[in-house]
Amino acid sequence: MIKYLLRRLAASIVVLIGVSVLIFLIARVIPGDPARIALGPMASEEQVAQLRAALFLDRPLIAQYVEFARNLLRGDLGVSLYTNRTVTTDLRQFLPATAELVAAASLLMVVIGIPLGVLAGHFRDRWPDHAARLAALLGIVAPSFVWAIILVLVFSYWLDLTPVIGRLSDSIVRPPVTTGFVTVDSLIAGDWAAFKDASWHLVLPAVALSLSGAGQAARLTRANLGETYGRDYIDLARAYGFAGRTIAWKYALRPAMIPTLTILGLDFAAKLGNAFLVEAVFAWPGMARYGVNAILNKDLNAIVGTVLVIGFGFVVINLVIDLFVAYLDPRIRYRAAV
Amino acid sequence: MNDAAPPLLDVDGLALSLARFDGTARILNGVDLVVFPGERVALVGESGCGKTLTARMIMGLFDERGASVEGRIRFDDDDLLALDARGWDRLRGRRLTMIFQDPVAALNPVFTIADQLATVILRGGQAHTRVEARDLARPALAAVAIADPDRVLDSYPFQLSGGLNQRVLIAMALVNRPALVLADEPGTALDVTVQAQTLALMHNLTDASGAAVLLITHNLGVVRNFAQRVYVMYAGSIVEEAPVAELFAAPRHPYTQALFAAVPRLTGEGLPVGIEGGVPDYRVPPPGCRFHPRCPHARPQCHQPPPVIEVAPGHKVACVLFGEKRDG
Ligand SMILES: Nc1ncnc2c1ncn2[C@@H]1O[C@H](COP(=O)(O)OP(=O)(O)OP(=O)(O)O)[C@@H](O)[C@H]1O
Ligand SMILES: [Mg+2]
């Protein structure tokens, strides 16, 4: 198990290095001169040249990357040309909101999607299956931002149940920051009013972001469960009179979860991208606006920082999923140990 | 067998048709079969004749849509074709168990043997906690000649050899002291020595526990030392039944004779004689006796359902040839 973990970790680091190179290159080949953009059309050629030199933009690409990597290792992502603050400061401000949204949506995706899939798989071709499949399909057909708009219209405007904007009402004092997740922070502070308010703000964007993944999770679970139900070991479980519940939730679900989770890993990661659009709808103070501004302004360091964070999230999520799959599947655990 | 005792299992005129996209397949065509308490019975027939289907019907595992079923399956006092969930709960894994053909596929790959065996033992009612179940699992594994039960219990199926998995399955089938064990070609997925070991173990253990066995096989060779009575099945119907010695001494049905001719013999002269042709297309089965298109003795009467003739005590043949002899 330890060996397996180390191997996955090493692979993740290689992926991260690859990601950093790729991002670095892409950011440099976008047309337009970042120094000129940063200084505006009124700046003199001399000033622009000075800034280019300060940013190492006048050096060969390799030298630029070495400089970039060295800074990266020290946790220095440079200064945003647009906000004039270090990129790490910016990320520290905007990232937790996005992370909270994505974490909540991922949780919902699992909590909604997998039971729905088990229901469908267990009652295959009967009415609970048809209902669950329809629900799953609805979740998938509309992109998250469309769901976001629909949910706002229904729950905020028509029913007037939920807030429309931000993470917390103005009347609520934000609890001290420990994790950066307002819901968790308010729980730690024991501030129920803040927790309720934060959850109330979080629920719509999280649901909007979770629906397509939940639909996908339900379909995958159903398909893999269906495949598992055809196996001899499920026939054996039935022949020995194991309870239907025990078969569905234990003896069939566990083998079925192995391929399901592996594929779902990609959905978790896709959430990071979709979150941007959902954030835009709910004016969620996360990475969305920061990232978009970075691109529009050709703010190199900010672009690189943003994409690097997404790449990092992707790698971490997949690592966690790999570990969970290994926990579920003894064949991976023991083969890796040999 | 003591014929005065009522049979433990009584399959009576079991017929099964399956509506498939390419037509209706009339597979089982009136299967009649009984197993008495403590008796070892073999069901023999070539591949595709419906043996597994019969076993799955008995176990209540066959619940395919588009199936129409006729006949009756009685086990003890239960009508299995009309049994509700509670009835099955009373029987499965307790009075009635099953050994599957491929032991590695029949065990769940992501749970330990201990977990799976304990779930079975807990159903037996002799243990109430998993710890107690494990205490019962050890002797059950020792009984199937497993030397280190604890290592096997803590293993996953893929960590054990096919033979060990097979023995785990036998232990599972017997641990709750069932009245009847269905064994569908046990061990044929493994090599011949393991297969022979499997049958020897089952023979001895069921002898000791008094469990009846219905052994399903396409191999006449393994039947002789195992079973007391044999049913020969062809294309969904029983064509001959007899005590094992009687069948080996004097097989009557042309299909049974062909089966014997197809068994390779060490002392035999020349190669075994295969049976011409194959199992019929179940969508358009031959009328009357389903074997007649392949039968060397076929005659016009074979297009009618064959009479079942008792040619000797306990020896019945479904063939028009023997009816003629009686009449003439
Ligand atoms: N679920 C099913 N749906 C449709 N046809 C089936 C199904 N199960 C079995 N059959 C068909 O029924 C026939 C008998 O199958 P069965 O598995 O009972 O044969 P068998 O005697 O056990 O053969 P083998 O020795 O190969 O195991 C075959 O022609 C098979 O194709
Ligand atoms: Mg079979």
| CATH code of the domain in which A185 resides | 1.10.3720.10
CA distance A291 to A103: 19
Confirm whether A77 is domain-assigned. Answer: no
Average pLDDT over residues A223-238: 94
CA distance B127 to B134: 9
Reduced to 3 states (helix: H, G, I; strand: E, B; else coil), residue A154 is: helix
Instruction: Name the residue with higher pLDDT: A143 or A34.
Output: A143
Yes or no: say if A334 and A2 are a contact pair by the CB < 8 Å rule.
no
Confirm whether A66 is domain-assigned. Answer: no
- Within 8 A of B170 by CB-CB distance, chain A residues are none
pLDDT for B137 equals 96
Structure-derived torsion over alpha carbons of residues B29, B34, B38, B43, reported in degrees to the nearest 10? -30
Question: Cα–chain-centroid distance for residue A224?
Answer: 24
Other CB atoms closer than 10 Å to residue A129's CB: what's the count?
Answer: 17
- Binding site membership of B48 for ligand 1 (Cβ less than 6 Å): yes
pLDDT for A292 equals 83
Range ranked top by mean pLDDT from A284-288, B246-250, B259-263, B275-279:
B246-250
Interface check A338 vs B, CB under 8 A: no
Longest dimension (CA), chain A: 84
CA distance B215 to B223: 8
φ/ψ (deg, to 5) at B71:
95, -160
| Residue to mutate, B51, B53, B68, B283, ligand 1, most ligand atoms under 8 Å from C-beta | B53
Counting the structural domains of chain A, the total is 1
Choose among A93, A95, A189: nearest CA to A197.
A189
Residue B273 has pLDDT above 70, yes or no: no
Average pLDDT over residues A80-103: 86
Q: Which atom from ligand 1 is nearest to the alpha carbon of B55?
A: 18
Dihedral sign for Cα B314, B318, B319, B324, please: positive
What is the average pLDDT score of chain A? Answer: 84
Helix axes A127-141, A87-122, angle to 10 degrees: 160
Instruction: Name the residue with higher pLDDT: A232 or A265.
Output: A232
Average pLDDT over residues A209-219: 91
Average pLDDT over residues B56-61: 94
Range ranked top by mean pLDDT from B15-24, B37-46, B182-191:
B37-46
- Binding site membership of B27 for ligand 1 (Cβ less than 6 Å): yes
What would the pLDDT profile of A22-57 be if each residue is shown by its tens digit? 887 877 776 667 677 667 777 787 877 887 777 777
- Within 8 A of B59 by CB-CB distance, chain A residues are 239
Task: Using CB atoms within 10 Å of the CB of residue B85, give its burial: 0 to 12 exposed, 13 to 18 middle, 19+ buried.
Answer: exposed
CA distance B152 to A156: 59
pLDDT for B279 equals 78
CA distance B107 to A246: 15
Rg of chain A taking only CA atoms, in angstroms: 24
Residues 6+ apart with CB under 8 A from B105: A231, A232, A233, B189
Average pLDDT over residues B123-133: 93
pLDDT for A203 equals 85
Question: Cα–chain-centroid distance for residue A80?
Answer: 23
Tell me what percent of the residues of chain B surpass a pLDDT of 70: 93
What would the pLDDT profile of A249-306 be if each residue is shown by its tens digit? 999 999 999 999 888 887 776 777 788 888 888 888 888 878 888 888 877 788 888 8
Number of H helices, E strands in chain B: 12, 12
Instruction: Name the residue with higher pLDDT: B37 or A313.
Output: B37
CA distance B213 to B227: 9
| Residue to mutate, B18, B21, B26, B27, ligand 1, most ligand atoms under 8 Å from C-beta | B27
- Binding site membership of B253 for ligand 1 (Cβ less than 6 Å): no
Residue A97 has pLDDT above 60, yes or no: yes
Antiparallel, parallel or unpaired: β B23-35 and B9-20: antiparallel
Give the residue from chain A lying closest to B106, CA to CA. A233
Whole-angstrom CA distances from A236 to A230, A329, B91, B107, B275 are 11, 20, 14, 8, 34
Least confident of A73-82, B26-35, B175-184: A73-82
Confirm whether A142 is domain-assigned. Answer: yes
pLDDT for B328 equals 36
pLDDT for A301 equals 81
Least confident of A68-77, A99-108, A252-261, B299-308: A68-77
Residue B327's pLDDT band, with cuts at 50, 70 and 90, is: very low
pLDDT for A188 equals 81
Residue A125 has pLDDT above 90, yes or no: no
Helices (H), chain A: 2-29, 34-39, 45-54, 61-73, 87-122, 127-141, 144-151, 182-188, 192-229, 232-239, 244-246, 253-282, 287-296, 300-328, 330-337
Residue A124's pLDDT band, with cuts at 50, 70 and 90, is: confident
Antiparallel, parallel or unpaired: β B40-44 and B212-217: parallel
Reduced to 3 states (helix: H, G, I; strand: E, B; else coil), residue B64 is: coil
Confirm whether A95 is domain-assigned. Answer: no
CA distance B324 to A263: 67
Confirm whether A4 is domain-assigned. Answer: no
Residue B276 has pLDDT above 70, yes or no: no
Residue A221's pLDDT band, with cuts at 50, 70 and 90, is: very high
Yes or no: say if B179 and B211 are a contact pair by the CB < 8 Å rule.
yes
Average pLDDT over residues A167-176: 75
What is the pTM assigned to this prediction? 0.84
- Ramachandran region of residue A6, left (φ > 0), alpha (ψ -120 to 50) or beta? alpha
SS (H, E, C) A199-262: HHHHHHHHHHHHHHHHHHHHHHHHHHHHHHHCCHHHHHHHHCCCCHHHHHHHHHHHHHHHHHHH
Confirm whether A317 is domain-assigned. Answer: no
Range of the domain at A174: 100-294
Structure tokens that stand for B233 in this block? 């099945």
What is the average pLDDT score of chain B? Answer: 89
Average pLDDT over residues A311-317: 84
**Subunit contact A241:B100, Cβ cutoff 8 A:** no
Residue having the nearest C-alpha atom to atom 26 of ligand 1: B47
Looking at the complex, report in whole angstroms how far the Cα of residue B210 sits from the nearest Cα belonging to chain A: 19
Interface check B89 vs A, CB under 8 A: yes
Confirm whether A314 is domain-assigned. Answer: no
pLDDT for B75 equals 95
Interface check B248 vs A, CB under 8 A: no
Confirm whether A7 is domain-assigned. Answer: no
**Subunit contact B98:A236, Cβ cutoff 8 A:** yes
pLDDT for A338 equals 47
Average pLDDT over residues B65-73: 90
- Within 8 A of A237 by CB-CB distance, chain B residues are 108
Structure tokens that stand for A46 in this block? 């001399």
CA distance B3 to B19: 39
Yes or no: say if A267 and A216 are a contact pair by the CB < 8 Å rule.
yes
Reduced to 3 states (helix: H, G, I; strand: E, B; else coil), residue B31 is: strand
Residue B67 has pLDDT above 80, yes or no: yes
Query: What letter would DSSP give residue B305?
Result: P
**Subunit contact A251:B108, Cβ cutoff 8 A:** yes
- Within 8 A of B65 by CB-CB distance, chain A residues are 125
The residue type at B108: N
Residue having the nearest C-alpha atom to atom 30 of ligand 1: B48
ipTM of the complex: 0.90
Name the A residues in 94-113 with CB < 8 Å from any B CB. none
- Binding site membership of B26 for ligand 1 (Cβ less than 6 Å): no
Q: Which atom from ligand 1 is nearest to the alpha carbon of B53?
A: 18
Residues in chain B: 328
